[in-house]
């Protein structure tokens, strides 16, 4: 088994393939609904336990565990980049990494384009991929991402850190609800009782320390991304996952703001499957680490 992406956390966190995830089959610049979403209306469908078990099985295969050893040996540096470590030393470090999977495999939900467009009945987020935390013998952590493709589950990325499972646990400990991400601004939220509540610093900056109503959040993300849906000038200019010379420098500076995160040149992996995977940002972006809240 070959893992499609092998990335440092900083390379995969700030963008959803330059809003490729929002550029799915939707009416161009759809107007937001004026009526508020009902409290139970916007929760996405749960991922079946059987799917999570199958994803876990893919992650714990010997081939993936071997890749994890390599990842930890390189401390997240992609194989395409040089390492100040000889081949023999790297192989020894990989063997000593002794990666272990910890905790449950969790679904990772991402802001839904239909919700952004204001399409009635759209959930606030959609299941995008699954994540499983892995820990090395020296304490390094990684998140292993899996998607369903052509009827089977496969691992598509390893990212440093354990944000995906950490925020899922944080949401559950705080009273439950659906944890989801708005990757364009590195924000993690939990949808609970009809309110969108923040789980990290970026989310608090977005919706305030006490969160906001579902309707207010829909209006917020429509203002941010409503003009970047299919058929928009942004989409026609090829910026919904393409390369824009005028914004390339942002990738070197770090995409902290929405404007920077939406036009980055992204080597994208598109993996359509039962979880509705959109696109996962690949290696090569110099995006700042997300502040932990």
Q: pLDDT tens across 235-291, in order?
A: 666 665 433 333 222 222 222 222 222 222 222 232 322 232 333 332 222 222 333
- Alpha carbons 103 and 167: distance in angstroms, whole number: 13
Which range among 19-28, 65-74, 99-108, 110-119 has the greatest average pLDDT? 99-108
Please state the domain extents for the chain: 9-281
- Alpha carbons 92 and 88: distance in angstroms, whole number: 6
Instruction: Report helix, strand or coil for 142.
Output: strand
Contacts of 264 (CB under 8 A, 6+ apart): 14, 15, 18, 247, 248, 250, 251, 255, 285, 287
Q: What is the pTM of this model?
A: 0.74
Count CA atoms within 13 Å of residue 2 on its CB side: 2
Task: Tell me the pLDDT band of 228, cut-offs 50, 70 and 90.
Answer: confident
| Phi-psi label, residue 211: left if phi above 0, alpha if psi -120 to 50, beta otherwise | left
- Sheet containing 212-213, strands listed edge to edge, beginning at the edge strand earlier in sequence: 152-160, 141-149, 125-135, 100-111, 178-182, 187-192, 195-198, 212-213
Token output for 178: 């659906």
Q: pLDDT tens across 23-61, in order?
A: 333 343 444 444 556 555 688 989 999 999 999 999 999
């Amino acid at each position: 088994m070959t893992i499609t992406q092998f990335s440092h956390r900083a390379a995969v966190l700030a963008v959803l393939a330059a809003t490729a995830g929002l550029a799915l089959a939707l009416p161009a610049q759809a107007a937001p609904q004026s009526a508020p979403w009902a409290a139970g209306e916007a929760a996405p469908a749960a991922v079946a336990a059987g799917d999570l078990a199958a994803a876990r099985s893919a992650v714990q295969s010997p081939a993936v565990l071997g890749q994890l050893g390599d990842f930890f040996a390189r401390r997240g540096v992609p194989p395409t980049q040089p390492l100040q470590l000889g081949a023999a030393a790297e192989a020894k470090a990989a063997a000593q990494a002794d990666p272990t999977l910890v905790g449950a495999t969790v679904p990772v939900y991402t802001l839904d384009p239909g919700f952004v467009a204001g399409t009635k009945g759209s959930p606030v987020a959609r299941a995008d991929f699954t994540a499983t935390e892995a820990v090395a013998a020296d304490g390094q952590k990684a998140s292993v991402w899996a998607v369903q493709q052509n009827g089977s589950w496969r691992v598509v990325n390893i990212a440093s850190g354990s944000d995906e499972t950490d925020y899922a646990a944080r949401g559950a400990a705080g009273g439950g609800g659906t944890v989801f991400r708005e990757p364009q601004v590195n924000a993690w939220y939990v949808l609970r009782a009809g309110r969108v509540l923040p789980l990290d610093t970026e989310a608090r900056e977005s919706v305030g320390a006490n969160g906001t109503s579902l309707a207010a959040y829909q209006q917020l993300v429509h203002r941010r991304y409503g003009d970047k849906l299919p058929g928009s000038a942004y989409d026609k200019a090829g910026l919904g996952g393409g390369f824009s010379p005028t914004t390339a420098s942002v990738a070197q500076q770090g995409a902290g703001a929405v404007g920077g995160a939406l036009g980055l040149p992204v080597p994208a992996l598109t993996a359509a499957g039962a979880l509705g995977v959109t696109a996962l940002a690949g290696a090569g972006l110099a995006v700042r680490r997300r502040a932990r809240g």
